[in-house]
Structure 1
Amino acid sequence: MVLLSGKMLFFDSTHDLRLRLYKPASPSTTKLPIFYYIHGGGFCIGSRTWPNCQNYCFKLALDLQAVIISPDYRLAPENRLPAAIEDGYMAVKWLQAQAMSEEPDTWLTDVADFSKVFISGDSAGGNIAHNLAVRLGAVKSKSEAEGPKEAFLNWELIDRFWRLSIPIGETTDHPLVNPFGPQSRSLEPLDLDPILVVMGGSDLLKDRAKDYAERLQKWGKDIQYVEFEGQQHGFFTINPNSEPATQLMQIIKTFVVEKST
């Protein structure tokens, strides 16, 4: 009886780095979460090919009913830190590229849920997992991870904007970026003025904006969320004479009138 299916791929050909994927052989009625396992070894020894590491990945795939990704990383002393962290980051970037690719590897994409990604590590691998969490900041929303690459505002551009604009050494959990981040001031006790949030249904930032509106609504704030199905980021300025843009203008006018009385 075949319980598992596996596959090995390059994720960084420059450094000859590969990753091994594992998934349950039996088809699932729902898509599976993705779980990274990064091996240990004090950054100096170890390999994803060690029997104990491979056996653990087998068990993870079966017990979690998940797609397991076990990547290589460069070892010291030939490659001192942060080489291993950079390699871990590239392994995650590989997955993001699969999520946005027009020609993805269907062995993965047919079964994987890109909105449910977990990163773990053993010993030195745990340190890598921590540093990836810090570097990546807040987890990408479903709309960011699965949004079309050809979108006017795509994930790569969003990521570049954040890296160029946030304070050096900070992440996207900075209070000026994420109003619900760990260091952000609580908005619940504040007496906020009325707020109108408008998003295009295909905007990669949609999930974050919707979450913002829903949280404030739960706290009793006067906030209205409007979503235009199929519209991209900035649709009302890109095509100001379109029907959605015209509808939005009326919504804004109504909001201004109602909140002015």
Structure 2
Amino acid sequence: MAGDTAPHVVEDLLGIVQLLSDGSVVRGDESVLGPKEPLPDVPGVEWKDVVYHAAHGLRVRVYRPASASSVAGSVKLPVLVYFHGGGYCLGSFSQPTFHAFCLRAAAELPAVVLSVQYRLAPEHRLPAAIDDGAQFLSWLRGQAELGTGGDPWLAASADFARTFISGVSAGANLAHHLTVQVATARLPVSPVRVVGYVLLSAFFGGAERTASEADQPTGVTLPVEICEQLWHMSLPVGATRDHPVANPFGPESPSLAPVELPPALVVAPLGDVLRDRVLGYAARLKDMGKDVELVEFEGQQHGFSVLQPFAEAADELMRVLGRFVYQRDTPAER
């Protein structure tokens, strides 16, 4: 028909995700953003993929120390639910950097680690990813109810009464929202018991730029312009960065003051342009009287835990994470 034009690119994210004028999406090879050399393996950890949402073809990667299966009657381990990063538009639970982090966490905490796949934007705009996370926790509740009739690895090794919800970057944002759903009883999970949550380099936003966003240093791993593009491509069409998913303390967001949140571990890399948002999140919760442990990593970049999963900062993070997970058994005065 006269006047028709072929679909053209209206949004291009790092040459990896292109949104076309007809609403379709073209995806490239994300491996170009990953490590150039293979990452070392972590011995002594078993892992497998399990489908948790058949209709959407979504899986969870289950990790556990091999020793957990080799010792009869061994003590069950805490459960660390983990959501990968990527600004809700990129990333996969199977990518080498996220896989490496989960291997280390399973071995070193030790814990049963559940790395969750979720749908990505712009094909599936928010709150699709959060809905998937809620579906996963409902699946996990079902596993706990089944007991020995559920997945054999979980039945043998997982202490569902010591479950932690965690994530990095957008995964940390997702972890926040799921924890709030659980804490407000909008998402029933019993007999699973969420006893803490962990935000690593949390991906939050807002309509107005913070000081660290307005005056970002050169060479940051996640420039503020990319942050804003990720929100534009992942939030509902027409939403601003003050949407409650992006900004938990924005004008449209419900108050967290009455919510009985479990203890939080907030990890803030101080070389991150989102530093002010992460520090502000922890400060606001502390002002409300919430139990928050804030750990700052001087000079580290956004997502350092997965960008350099075997560096010294990642080593220290594993120690911090292990203390947080295991102190929930005998809460210390802080």
The answer for the alignment partner of 1:38 in structure 2 is 83
How many pairs were matched up? 155
CA distance in 1, matches of 2:109, 2:43: 17
Higher alpha-carbon Rg: 1
State the shift of 1:109 in Å.
1.1
Alignment of 1:1-261 (within 5 A): 3-27=44-68, 29-101=74-146, 103-137=149-183, 144-145=190-191
CA distance in 1, matches of 2:65, 2:179: 27
Q: % of aligned pairs identical? A: 42
Q: 2:139 corresponds to which letter in structure 1?
A: W
State the shift of 1:136 in Å.
1.0
State the shift of 1:49 in Å.
0.9
Judge conservation of contact 2:82–2:115 (CA < 8 Å) in 1: yes
Q: Which has the higher helix share?
A: 1
CA distance in 1, matches of 2:93, 2:144: 24
Q: What SS class does the counterpart of residue 15 from structure 1 fall into?
A: coil
TM-score, length-scaled by structure 2:
0.42
TM-score, length-scaled by structure 1:
0.53
State the shift of 1:107 in Å.
1.5
State the shift of 1:81 in Å.
0.2
Q: What SS class does the counterpart of residue 118 from structure 1 fall into?
A: strand
State the shift of 1:2 in Å.
5.2
State the shift of 1:6 in Å.
0.9
The answer for the alignment partner of 1:203 in structure 2 is none
The answer for the alignment partner of 1:196 in structure 2 is none
CA distance in 1, matches of 2:121, 2:190: 35
State the shift of 1:144 in Å.
4.0
Q: 1:49 corresponds to which letter in structure 2?
A: S
Q: What SS class does the counterpart of residue 122 from structure 2 fall into?
A: coil
Judge conservation of contact 2:64–2:111 (CA < 8 Å) in 1: yes
CA distance in 1, matches of 2:254, 2:64: 35
CA distance in 1, matches of 2:142, 2:190: 12
Cα displacement string for residues 204-227 of structure 1 (whole angstroms, at most 9, x for unaligned residues): xxxxxxxxxxxxxxxxxxxxxxxx
| Structure 1 gap ranges (5+) | 147-168, 183-261
CA distance in 1, matches of 2:109, 2:52: 24
State the shift of 1:174 in Å.
5.4
State the shift of 1:94 in Å.
1.1
CA distance in 2, matches of 1:7, 1:138: 32
Displaced runs of 4+ in structure 1, greater than 6 A?
A: none
Judge conservation of contact 2:141–2:190 (CA < 8 Å) in 1: no
Cα displacement string for residues 61-104 of structure 1 (whole angstroms, at most 9, x for unaligned residues): 01111000001110010100000000111111111100001621
CA distance in 2, matches of 1:40, 1:53: 8
Q: 1:8 corresponds to which letter in structure 2?
A: D
CA distance in 2, matches of 1:2, 1:54: 13
Q: 1:116 corresponds to which letter in structure 2?
A: R
CA distance in 1, matches of 2:77, 2:184: 21
Q: Using a 3 Å threshold, how does the CA distance of structure 1 residues 19 and 41 change in structure 2: closer, same or farther?
A: same
Q: Using a 3 Å threshold, how does the CA distance of structure 1 residues 144 and 87 change in structure 2: closer, same or farther?
A: closer
State the shift of 1:119 in Å.
0.7
CA distance in 1, matches of 2:146, 2:54: 18
